[in-house]
Amino acid sequence: MSGYIISIIDSSEGLGQSLISSSLAMTLANQSKKEIGLLNLNFNAPSYFSFLFNVKTQKSLNDIFEIIERLDAKMFRGFLAKHPSGVCFTDTVSGFDSTKVLISRIELLLSFLRETFDFSVVSVNRYLSPQTISVLDGSNIVILVIPPHLLSVKNASDVIQQLKTLHFPLSFVKILINMSGMKGALDEDIIKEHLKADIIGRIPYDSGVIVPCINEGTPPLERFPHSPFSKAIKEIGNLLLKEKQKSEKGEPSIFQFISSKERKTELKAQEL
């Protein structure tokens, strides 16, 4: 098996990255009827997956990294908690020193994900450290989550410029507008003009659903499956599954297969 890795970058701080990542993983599990991997590789922020799923984890990602060279894919899977939907995950504990995470360990972790799951959803930081770049090198798509306000668009533009400088293709990045339709939101045409990237979906502003789910520790897809939020997440999951089928048939799809060696060669040539 060679699964697909979806990296989620949030252009603003907060709970939104964990909420969207966990919801996307859950809808992929529900629709595919298969286990889906979910990890927080945003080393500068703790994840809230166990809180959002109301499932306790036995081992943190911090623990796994300490022994990862002694694991194989099956042993790695055994360290993950599992939600009844089929989402397999663990959390990252706050205070994690990402500078001590070896690139080789990240590459090994990603290989375990690809070997174990058809899809894995990983949260990453918008600041592209060497560790984050190694995650993106192993990903097939980046979904950039953007609340529709100017500061968020500016942050997203900075991310895209960093990726272009590192020779990641613009087609690698898709935009997901979060809190779409909220009062005072930027017009979608302005967002497109600034970012020059395709929009993969729109998550409506749905505080009447999200706030109770956070307070109860119940996933929105489970508590309010027919809400606008849940319907929007399901549409994105359905799109990703269809694009996977196209990719497996050798047809053009939104998933990229980037050669990190080729990308680094181009980057080195540019520096010279």
Which residue type sits at 114? R
pLDDT in tens, 199-239: 999 999 888 898 898 888 899 999 999 999 999 999 999 99
246 pLDDT tier (thresholds 50, 70, 90)? very high
Give pLDDT, residue 158: 94
Q: Residue 209: is it exposed, middle or buried by C-beta count within 10 angstroms (0-12/13-18/19+)?
A: middle
Q: Answer whether residue 267 shows pLDDT above 70.
A: no
Which residue type sits at 118? D
Instruction: Tell me which residue of 247, 26, 11 sits closest to 152, measured CA to CA.
Output: 11
5 pLDDT tier (thresholds 50, 70, 90)? very high
Mean pLDDT of the chain: 89
73 pLDDT tier (thresholds 50, 70, 90)? very high
Q: Answer whether residue 262 shows pLDDT above 80.
A: no
Q: To which residue do tokens 């047809």 refer?
A: 251
In this structure, are residues 110 and 138 in contact, taking their beta carbons and an 8 Å threshold?
A: yes
Q: What is the pTM of this model?
A: 0.93
Give pLDDT, residue 113: 97
Give percent above pLDDT 70 in the chain.
Answer: 91
Residues in the chain: 272
40 HSE (CA, 13 A, CB side): 27
pLDDT in tens, 128-187: 989 999 999 999 999 999 998 888 999 999 999 999 998 898 889 999 999 888 888 888
pLDDT in tens, 232-243: 999 999 999 999
Q: Which residues of 79-107 are buried (b: 16+ CB within 10 A; e: fewer)?
A: bbbebebbbbbbbbeeebebeebeeebbe
pLDDT in tens, 22-34: 999 999 999 999 9
In this structure, are residues 83 and 109 in contact, taking their beta carbons and an 8 Å threshold?
A: no
d(CA 269, CA 127): 24
d(CA 234, CA 203): 10
Query: For residue 216, how many other CB atoms are within 10 A of its CB?
Result: 10
Q: Measured between alpha carbons, how far apart are the two ends of the chain, in Å?
A: 39
Residue 100 DSSP label:
G
Instruction: Please state the φ and ψ torsions of residue 73, each to the nearest 5 degrees.
Output: -60, -40
Q: Answer whether residue 260 shows pLDDT above 70.
A: no
